[in-house]
Homo-oligomer: A and B are copies of this chain.
């Protein structure tokens, strides 16, 4: 007995069956992001860092003296979140913050020697995760993946979802 896939789909809609988890691209992204997060977290943990702290230190090491607001933009978090991250980093003695000599309402942030040491240690292992990941794909596949991800990103940001 042959069952038409179209009919199955139509019936599903009639009985109000929802889109399954597996059909949703979102669930795949979530899983991958979660696993990646876990791997990275395990990688930077021995250095006493969390992933967001590592990201902040990473940017700070490239551009010492950057403001918290700019740092937040680079790390793709809100300024409030960055304030929290910096507070924890400062409490651990990994960064130091001093008022800007000219702009009084700007606080310059830069890593301490201890911060740079932690960053080095974390970066070695974090890069290892990325390299292992990259090794699972040919250059062409990696490019395809990047392109598809960019398309997802574009779709999500240009679509008028937020206005509906």
Residues of A within 8 A of B (CB): 18-19, 23-26, 28-36, 38-40, 42-43, 58, 62, 76, 123, 125, 127-130, 132-134, 136-137, 141-142, 144-146, 148-157, 159, 161-162, 164
Bound Cα distance from A59 to B31, whole angstroms: 16
**Closest B residue, CB atoms, query A74:** B21
**Closest B residue, CB atoms, query A22:** B146
Bound Cα distance from A153 to B38, whole angstroms: 11
**Closest B residue, CB atoms, query A24:** B130
Given A141-B148, A151-B137: A39 and B156 within 8 A (CB)?
A: yes
Tell me the dominant secondary structure on chain A's binding face: helix
In addition to A24-B130, A30-B33, A141-B148, 8 A-B residue pairs with Cβ atoms within 8 Å of each other are: A28-B150, A29-B29, A39-B156, A39-B161, A129-B161, A132-B155, A145-B145, A145-B148
**Shortest distance in angstroms between A81's beta carbon and chain B's nearest beta carbon?**
12
CB-based contact A144/B155 at 8 Å: no
Across the interface, A36 reaches (CB within 8 A) one of B18, B43, B125, B152, namely: B152
**Shortest distance in angstroms between A27's beta carbon and chain B's nearest beta carbon?**
9
